[in-house]
Amino acid sequence: MPDTSTIPIGFLNVVASPHPQGIYHNALQQASLEPVQYRGRDWAIIKPPSKSQSDTQIYEGQICVWTDVNPEEPSIDKTTFQEEIVGDNLKKVFEKQGFNNRTFSYALDENTHKIAIELKNELGKTLSIHLAGKIFQKALERLNTGETTYEVTVQPTEDALKNVLDLHRIDKISILLKRPNPGDHRGDDAEQILRELDDQKLKSAVYQFNRQPGTDGIKLNSRNLTRASVAAENGNVQSSGLNENEQKVHRSTKEYPLVIQKIIDKATSHLIAIRDEVKRFRAT
């Protein structure tokens, strides 16, 4: 039996509005090599994507994350534990270089505007899918203009919405619905939801529901369930209420990201596995 390894792979849903052909890989090209500060002193860049040789609709690239060191703050000698001023030579290194660099591969499917990202690279370094989503959102939102906008949502599991609404008593529901691309969600009801946004010139909409006192909980009608279903992949759905033990709980579709554990032969590159998995969202 050949040696194998397991790669966690997460997914992002990117929506451009409007979305002419080729906009997604062109946007990543424009956003590439521009550092984004995604947390504290942690920074990242998206490297330019290149077209896959095996599939003309897939574009492959990398993201790099690192930590900056403030050269103006004092250091500590780890043998004496005494505070020391950073010398000028070391300051120059800190100003020029980022530290603890980690690189992760990604693959974009232009057809479905989904991005697959390795969350554990070949050196064993890890990245959460939520931080990856934050990096892509910050990088792409800088391209937003009055005419074109970009939204990034972490792809949830298929049962994310069911988990959010599966409370013994639902007291509150909040639906953040961001404009999806036409055709992303099949069915007349989903198309009607998109038309509602279009007719009202809305980029997004928020729907709030609160339980009527004395009732056994919120029961969404079919229209609002469709809104919630679309929002799970394009926005967020939150609930709060009581579980079966009468304990107060709060849930969100963000808590249920789709992360698959891909088992591969150790001789197989991570990029091949990521490229294969990003195709899972294509219609069959």
Q: Are residues 150 and 173 in the same domain?
A: no
Question: What pLDDT digit, counting tens, does each position of 263-280 carry?
Answer: 999 888 999 999 999 999
Q: How many domains does the chain have?
A: 2
Residues 186 and 90 in one domain: no
Token digits of residue 189: 């009801």
Per-residue confidence band for 185, with pLDDT thresholds at 50, 70 and 90: low
Instruction: Give the model's pLDDT for residue 186.
Output: 57
Do 235 and 176 form a contact (C-beta atoms < 8 A)?
yes
Same domain as 106, residue 19:
yes
**99-109 and 58-67: which strand pairing?**
antiparallel
8 A C-beta contact, residue 267 and residue 250: no
| pLDDT at residue 239 in the model | 98
Average pLDDT, the chain: 92
Residue type, 75: S
Is the pTM higher than 0.75? Answer: yes
CA 87 to CA 91: how far, in whole Å? 6
Query: Does residue 108 share a domain with residue 170?
Result: no
Phi, psi dihedral angles at 5 (to 5 degrees):
-140, 160
Asked whether residue 227 falls in the same domain as residue 267, the answer is no
At residue 206, the pLDDT reads 96
- In this predicted structure, what is the pLDDT of residue 231? 94
For residue 267, which amino acid is it? A
d(CA 80, CA 244): 56
Residue 85 pLDDT:
86
DSSP 257: B
Residues constituting the chain: 284
Pair 21, 147 in one domain: yes
pLDDT of residue 188: 67
Same domain, 241 and 271: no
Bridge-based pairing of strands 99-109 and 50-51 is unpaired
Q: How many CB atoms lie within 10 A of CB 172?
A: 14
Domain that holds residue 193: 160-255
Q: Select the more confidently predicted residue: 87 or 219.
A: 219
| Whether 126 and 201 share a structural domain | no
Q: Which phi and psi angles does 185 have, rounded to 5°?
A: -125, 120
Dump pLDDT digits (tens) for 226-247.
999 999 999 999 999 999 999 9
Clarify whether residues 195 and 125 are in a common domain.
no
Measured distance between the N- and C-terminal CA atoms of the chain, rounded to whole angstroms: 32
129-141 helix and 23-31 helix, angle to the nearest 10 degrees: 90
Residue 90 has pLDDT above 90, yes or no: no
**pLDDT: which is higher, 214 or 71:** 214
In terms of C-beta distances under 8 Å and separation of at least 24 residues, what long-range contacts does 201-208 make, across chains too?
A: 203/17, 203/149, 203/178, 203/179, 204/176, 204/177, 204/178, 204/179, 204/235, 205/177, 206/174, 206/175, 206/176, 206/177, 207/173, 207/174, 207/175, 207/177, 208/172, 208/173, 208/174, 208/175
Confidence class for position 86, pLDDT limits 50, 70, 90: confident
Q: Which of 19-23, 254-258, 269-273 has the highest mean pLDDT?
A: 254-258
Checking if the pLDDT of 105 tops 60, the result is yes
Q: Average pLDDT of 172-176?
A: 97
> Residue 149 forms beta bridges with which residues?
17
Distances (CA, A) of 92 to 57, 88, 164: 43, 6, 50
Q: Which residues make Cβ contacts (< 8 Å) with residue 16, sequence separation at least 6?
A: 23, 24, 27, 113, 148, 149, 150, 181
Same domain? 151 vs 208: no
- Residues 21 and 141 grouped into a single domain: yes
Mean pLDDT of 25-36: 95
Mean pLDDT of 67-89: 87
Helix, strand, coil share of the chain (percent; to 5): 25, 35, 35
Same domain, 39 and 139: yes
d(CA 132, CA 119): 9
Give the mean model confidence (pLDDT) for residues 18-36: 93
| Mean of pLDDT values over 80-86 | 87
User: What's the pLDDT at 156?
Assistant: 96
Predicted confidence at residue 1, as pLDDT, reads: 47
Question: Residue 8 pLDDT > 90, yes or no?
Answer: yes
**Does residue 73 or residue 175 have the better pLDDT?**
175
Average the pLDDT over 239-266 and give the result.
96
Band of residue 184 on the pLDDT scale cut at 50, 70, 90: low
